[in-house]
Structure 1
Amino acid sequence: MMAQTQPTKLQPYDSDFPTIWLAQVRMACAAEKLTTEADKFRRAFLALDTKTAELVASIDPTSDNPFTQLCNTLLTAHAPNDGSQLEALLATTSLDDTTPSEYARKIQRSLPEDTPDCIIRQLFLRALPKDIRLIIAALQHTNVTQLATIADQLIKLKEPIYSAAVSSPTSPNELNSEHIMSTGKPNTQPNVQPFNSRRRPPFRRQQQRSRRLCIYHYRWGNQARQCRQPCSWKQPTHVEQRRNTTIQGNDNAQLTGW
């Protein structure tokens, strides 16, 4: 006894792409060895949702070519031939939730096979983000499928660069990557390291200075009557002596509350 062929699982009918769905039905019928028009019709009809099946319910399965009638009815109802798909593509200016490769395939499915490559290319470029578009537009003599693959990779590289810029300082490599993303050219300018503003606060320098003087010279300066070693006090000149006396007098006034 010959083993029965397992039925192929068909995807739900998509009214946006009836041609693709019908192609899947034909491949399933070939795999299941369904050769007659009646068998193909039954296979396709049972895979349709109720609303779509209503469109072809009037077709007689015992007629000469029921499956062909089913295909023509679905294509007439859901495959626009009045240029509406081109109009929809012209109105699209972003990828939405699709990848560049998915959008490129959508364009190729929606337009006639004899559509010039320059039109497909322009429709594809319109939907890309601006920074990605600048790079892809510079790639000449490359078909849309290859451009879409490159755009996929650029978008994957774009996300970690932008997220890292928020959480960490920008490195020279990241700056160069962002420059290429925005201009399509490598950055030939020398990298300038970010200025490090970590400076010791004044009170720390003052504290270190005080550690080199004994407590008497630190507090009373030139008027100190005692000295305790180690002490780096040096006798100031006449000008410095007058300045230190003034500063020391202000400090004493603050210490005594006057």
Structure 2
Amino acid sequence: MQSTQATPEDKMELSAVTVSSRIPDFWRDQPRLWFVQCEAILGPQKLSDEARYNLVVTKLGKEVVEQVSDILLKPPESGKFEALKTRLMTVYEESEMRQFQKLLSEMELGDQKPSQLLRRMRDLARDKIPDETLKIMWQSHLPSSVRAVLAVSDVQVLDKLAAIADKVMETSRPIQISEVQASPSTSSNGDHAFILAEIAKLTMKINDMERNRNQSRNFNNNRNRWRSRSTSRGRNQSRRTPDSPNWLCFYHHKFRGRAKKCVDPCSWKNDDHRQEN
């Protein structure tokens, strides 16, 4: 009996079927993650652009196909896979503003673990919010008993805090279910807005106080300099001419009451000068 060997075309077709079975249907709510998984599966296969394009098309539902119908009916001559990917990402990927809105007002713990909620919030934040800010936002969605444990913890790494929160939730699940509110984000957002407003007011007051203090200090410094110049001018004017009734000799002009010598004419013996000293 003669055995038949599979042709290269048969092997390629079998490979395409195997790869296709490993790719899930397109995720409209997570197109970026879907393409990450899809390309991870397609990468090692070294398939042509046409084959990759056709595999993606087979994973699209009716509503999705309607969004890319022009590309399917008249695909570009080259770069078909990238053209299809770009269109799907444009249609189904949420804008950064929309993701930020969800991060602020649509996050709830629900039945998730704290670590799962954190991963979802990080996915929405996309590295544009620092961990310190994200930690405050994340903890605002946790039950008070969990927040109390995290508050006294010396752990600072956010992922490790999430692991601690998971363990606390596991040991006190019945109590925490009753504490989780339906929409904690509304009140927390209001509190955050109020706190930010109060901080802004305090900052303005501090700036005004600092500005007034600097102005007062400058005024006093200027007044002291003016007095010093006035006193100096008065002393210098007393030596303009020897005929002046307030003329002082060199020694008393320079050393005042500490002078050891006196040269006439000199009015130091005048009571006004001695009282001035």
Among candidates 19, 25, 36, match of residue 32 of structure 2 = 19
Contact kept in structure 2, 1:132 and 1:154, CA below 8 Å: yes
Among candidates 89, 93, 97, match of residue 103 of structure 2 = 89
Q: Structure 1 pair 162/43, CA: closer, same or farther in 2 (3 Å)?
A: closer
Q: Structure 1 pair 76/139, CA: closer, same or farther in 2 (3 Å)?
A: farther
SS in 2 for 1:136: helix
Contact kept in structure 2, 1:13 and 1:47, CA below 8 Å: yes
Contact kept in structure 2, 1:40 and 1:67, CA below 8 Å: yes
Contact kept in structure 1, 2:100 and 2:125, CA below 8 Å: yes
Alignment match, 1:47: 59
Q: Structure 1 pair 104/65, CA: closer, same or farther in 2 (3 Å)?
A: same
Q: Is 1:144 aligned with 2:158? A: yes
Q: Quick one: distance in 2 between partners of 1:125 and 1:78?
A: 30
Q: Residue by residue, what CA displacement relative to the aligned partner does 1:141-183 show, whole Å, maximum 9, x if unpaired?
A: 53332222221111111137889xxxxxxxxxxxxxxxxxxxx
Alignment match, 2:207: none
Q: Is 1:80 aligned with 2:56? A: no
SS in 2 for 1:122: helix
Alignment match, 1:56: 68
Q: Structure 1 pair 18/93, CA: closer, same or farther in 2 (3 Å)?
A: closer
Q: Quick one: distance in 2 between partners of 1:82 and 1:114?
A: 10
Q: Residue by residue, what CA displacement relative to the aligned partner does 1:85-105 show, whole Å, maximum 9, x if unpaired?
A: 111121146302222122111
Normalising to structure 1: TM-score of the pair? 0.55
Normalising to structure 2: TM-score of the pair? 0.52
Q: Quick one: distance in 1 between partners of 2:151 and 2:64?
A: 41
After superposition, the CA RMSD in angstroms is: 2.6
Q: Structure 1 pair 13/162, CA: closer, same or farther in 2 (3 Å)?
A: closer
Contact kept in structure 2, 1:94 and 1:129, CA below 8 Å: no
Map residues 215-230 of structure 1 onto 2, 5 A cutoff.
Answer: none
Alignment match, 1:201: none
Q: Quick one: distance in 1 between partners of 2:152 and 2:107?
A: 19
Contact kept in structure 1, 2:150 and 2:165, CA below 8 Å: yes
Alignment match, 1:169: none
Deviation at 1:16, TM superposition (A): 2.3
Q: Is 1:66 aligned with 2:80? A: yes
Alignment match, 1:192: none
Q: Is 1:155 aligned with 2:166? A: no
- Which one-letter code corresponds to 1:156 in the other structure? E
Q: Which runs of 5+ in 2 are unaligned?
A: 178-277
Q: Which structure has greater helix proportion?
A: 2
Q: Quick one: distance in 1 between partners of 2:62 and 2:41?
A: 21
- Which one-letter code corresponds to 2:146 in the other structure? I
Q: Quick one: distance in 1 between partners of 2:31 and 2:151?
A: 32
Q: Structure 1 pair 143/76, CA: closer, same or farther in 2 (3 Å)?
A: farther
Deviation at 1:61, TM superposition (A): 4.1
Identity of aligned residues (%): 21
Q: Quick one: distance in 2 between partners of 1:34 and 1:57?
A: 27
Q: Quick one: distance in 2 between partners of 1:93 and 1:75?
A: 23
Q: Quick one: distance in 1 between partners of 2:67 and 2:47?
A: 23
Q: Structure 1 pair 159/82, CA: closer, same or farther in 2 (3 Å)?
A: closer
Q: Quick one: distance in 2 between partners of 1:139 and 1:124?
A: 16
Contact kept in structure 1, 2:143 and 2:176, CA below 8 Å: no
Alignment match, 1:135: 149
SS in 1 for 2:136: helix
Q: Is 1:37 aligned with 2:49? A: yes
- Which one-letter code corresponds to 2:52 in the other structure? K
Q: Residue by residue, what CA displacement relative to the aligned partner does 1:193-228 show, whole Å, maximum 9, x if unpaired?
A: xxxxxxxxxxxxxxxxxxxxxxxxxxxxxxxxxxxx
Contact kept in structure 2, 1:16 and 1:78, CA below 8 Å: yes
SS in 1 for 2:140: helix
Deviation at 1:26, TM superposition (A): 0.5
Q: Quick one: distance in 1 between partners of 2:135 and 2:176?
A: 27
Contact kept in structure 2, 1:86 and 1:111, CA below 8 Å: yes
Alignment match, 1:178: none
Q: Quick one: distance in 1 between partners of 2:100 and 2:127?
A: 13
Aligned length: 162
